[in-house]
Chains A and B, each alone.
Chain A
Amino acid sequence: MENVLSIFFCLSLFYVAITSRVRGFVTVLRVQGILLSVIIVIPFIYHFSIFGIILPATLLAVKVFLIPRYINKIILDLDIKRTIEPTIQQFTFLLLVITTMVVIFVVSNILAQSTDLNVIPFASGFSAIVIGIYIIMFRKKLIVHVAGFLILENGIFLFGTAVASELPMMIELGILLDVFVVVFLMGIAINNISTTLRGFDVTALGRLKD
């Protein structure tokens, strides 16, 4: 089941590569949030406990409702143009994403021979990490950078479930809270950047250099 959901997660990454709408990123974040929540809730279907449901519920609340809503609000409030303004074309980006994924899947398969790991979630998570970095590198809009950062964070989360590292719930909740506050602060910064520097993309940021 985890493998099937991870493959859906990978498909969402393909969508990220070809979409040209900022809203497309928000939808992907929502879908990924749901997939991750389902992945961590699966073990509790067999051993139900009220205590164990706290983390998936918080994850769902933060990644599916709070953060995407907040990003949507910024897009609406600032009247950011709905296209993403790429620095490379969608098709080239898609090719890059596919090549990266193929390489990561092949390498993970080789690594799995010496270490016991769950290849599909591992490789999907790692792909999301790399693609998150690509988005930050090849897209101009700051709000899309935030989405790229969140895709990277989602990748890390999936990757974490694949290596079966079980962090205590308090720490997992701390991580979620940190990520939420980071996004919140980034939102405030984008708000200020749009009014003070009159721009929504990286070209507005060029004052500080030697």
Chain B
Amino acid sequence: MFEFFIFILLPLLASIFCYFVKNLRIQYSASLAVSIFHLALALSVFLGYYHTNLPFFFSVDSLSKLFLLILSNVYFWVVLVSYSYLQRPVTFKARNGIQYYFLLLNFYLTANSAAMLSDHFGMYWVAAEATTLSVAPLIYFYRNEEALEAMWKYLFLVSVGIAFAFIGILFLTLSAKGSLLEGKQLFFWEFIRNAKGLNPIWLKASFIFIFVGLSTKIGIAPMHSGDIDATSNAPSPIAALMSGSLRLTSLMGVLRILQIIRPTSSYEFAKIILIIGGLLSLFVAFVFMFKVNNYKRMLAYSSVEHLGLITLGVGVGGLAFIGAMYHAIYNSITKLVLFLTAGNIHSRFKSREVSSVSSVLTFMPVTGWLFLLTFFAISGIPPFGIFFSEIKIFEGLLFSDKPILVFAVMFFLLFIFINMGKIIFAMLYKKGENDKPETGTEKFEFIHLAVILLLILLTAIAVTSPDIIYQNIINITKDFGMNL
């Protein structure tokens, strides 16, 4: 019960607390304390120091352990930098939203933890929908026209998407007719155990609906548009939260249905759908990187690219699956760093247009160098983590039954790298027409320190490659019944 309290009830109580206490500093302290408790317990559970015994509809397995830790880590850093982020000047209208910031953030943690720990499809659905509800008002933080449009599109598209996922869940019930599972509750583990008796036609339909529906939240093409608008118009910490953890919460739903489908004859079908989804996302990122002129949207497309890569890895299975799990870890930290540095640039230049940003290295040397380093990290340059996970995915693709995929992926990634590089180097080095002669006197802020620590963490995990992470990922592949 203790873990249920820390993971789900405590953030909920903190959320209620933030409703009544209007002092921002107290809200921040309470939220930070909650995030520390959450992270400490998630880490203890992951390391095996704490054995969980969650009540009704909730339980822990290797997959939820890993994803919960990723969520907890991303959330902790986001809360940590939020106070200094909120001190920045905003419009009069936006100031109104600050009082709800921590309330919604805590509710976000409750909903996401509940979704990740749920072992019942119904519970997962309710929690996943609640994550949308918590994040939608945060997208509207700046209270401007673009943010409003982004919030509406995200809320509407994702709500319809989640409704589709629910149809998928009902199809899953139908697939159980005439099997041992008929009339039983929709527990994941029960379906996984008795998957062979499920009706393949309804199971395939269920997979399609759940995958397409949740794609709106994961940001997999062609359902990515709402997610792109939301990520690019939300405040940077929220964008980091969405890219680093919310997308994984939704991916979890797809992984659960894949786990059920895995021992059945419909697995090949599911694999093909996942591979198409992954490749299409890479293709969309590849095309839009040529024409994107807003650097936040560029980062959002980068999220589509990386989630596409993870989906592809999951679809191919084997080594690529292991790579995909590592990629989920590294991508979450890298996206956190990218969005936080991009947020610094946005605060200084007051624009998201690439053409309005110039000489970042001159005006903001610390942010500029960190932004450059993170660009290297996201592009898969060693020693940053993404390099290692991408190598693993490539290896998996090469030794799979579809080795041709590796060339397509490399082609897309190469051009994405070139186009992203062009944009980022223009921002960092290009001299603007209105540049004033003043040079770099950027103050070293708390966010810079957080970014440096995160980059160190990213490199440390990649270089030392802790055995516990590897073991956990191997356990996940075992749960999925994969032979390596």
Contacts and interface: CB of A to CB of B under 8 A. Distances in A.
Binding site of A, secondary structure by majority: helix, strand, loop or mixed?
Answer: helix
B36 interface: no
Interface string A152-165: 11001001100111
A53 interface: no
A114 B120 CA distance: 27
A186 B156 contact: yes
A209 B440 CA distance: 34
Contacts, number: 111
A159 B120 contact: no
B122 interface: yes
Interface string B252-267: 0000000000000000
Nearest to B120: A171
Interface string B178-222: 100001011000000000000101100000000000000000000
Interface string B283-302: 00000100111100100000
A196 B145 contact: yes
Interface in A131-163: 133, 136, 142, 145, 149, 152-153, 156, 159-160, 163
B133 A185 contact: yes
Contacts of B76: none
Nearest to B123: A171
Nearest to A153: B163
Nearest to B111: A178
B125 A175 contact: yes
B170 A163 contact: yes
Contact of B170 (A160, A171, A196, A205): A160
A95 to B, nearest CB: 24
A129 interface: yes
A195 to B, nearest CB: 10
A197 B152 CA distance: 12
Contact of B148 (A114, A160, A197): A197
B150 interface: yes
A205 B150 CA distance: 9
Given A115-B199, A156-B170, A193 B123 contact: no
A189 B155 contact: yes
Given A165-B173, A175-B125, A182-B155, A159 B297 contact: no
Given A165-B186, A182-B133, A197-B148, A116 B177 contact: yes
Contact of A207 (B130, B145, B156, B288): B145
Contacts of A182: 129, 132-133, 155, 159
A168 B185 contact: yes
Given A185-B136, A186-B152, 15 more contacts: A116-B177, A117-B174, A159-B167, A165-B169, A171-B57, A171-B120, A171-B126, A174-B126, A175-B125, A189-B155, A196-B145, A196-B148, A205-B149, A210-B291, A210-B293
A9 to B, nearest CB: 17
A165 B170 contact: yes
A83 interface: no
Given A136-B160, A193-B152, A178 B133 contact: yes
A207 B294 CA distance: 13
Contact of B122 (A129, A171, A193, A207): A171
A156 B163 contact: yes
Given A117-B174, A159-B167, A167-B186, A178 B130 contact: yes
Contacts of B343: none
Q: Please give me the 7 A-B residue pairs with the lowest Cβ-Cβ distance, nearest first.
A: A174-B126, A171-B122, A165-B173, A178-B129, A167-B122, A208-B229, A189-B152
A163 B173 contact: yes
A185 B166 contact: no
Nearest to B126: A174
Nearest to A115: B177
A171 to B, nearest CB: 4
B155 A186 contact: yes
B163 A152 contact: yes
B167 A156 contact: yes
A192 interface: yes
B148 A189 contact: yes
Nearest to B175: A115
B152 A115 contact: no
Contact of A115 (B136, B170, B174): B174
A207 B146 contact: yes
A181 interface: yes
Interface string A178-191: 10011001100100
12 contacts: A114-B201, A149-B156, A156-B170, A159-B170, A171-B120, A171-B126, A174-B122, A178-B130, A185-B137, A189-B140, A193-B149, A208-B150
A156 B149 contact: no
Contacts of A117: 174, 177
A61 B149 CA distance: 31
A205 B152 contact: yes
Nearest to B122: A171
Interface in A82-137: 114-117, 129, 133, 136
B251 interface: no
Contacts of A115: 174, 177-178, 199, 202
Nearest to B118: A171
A48 B148 CA distance: 47
B153 interface: yes
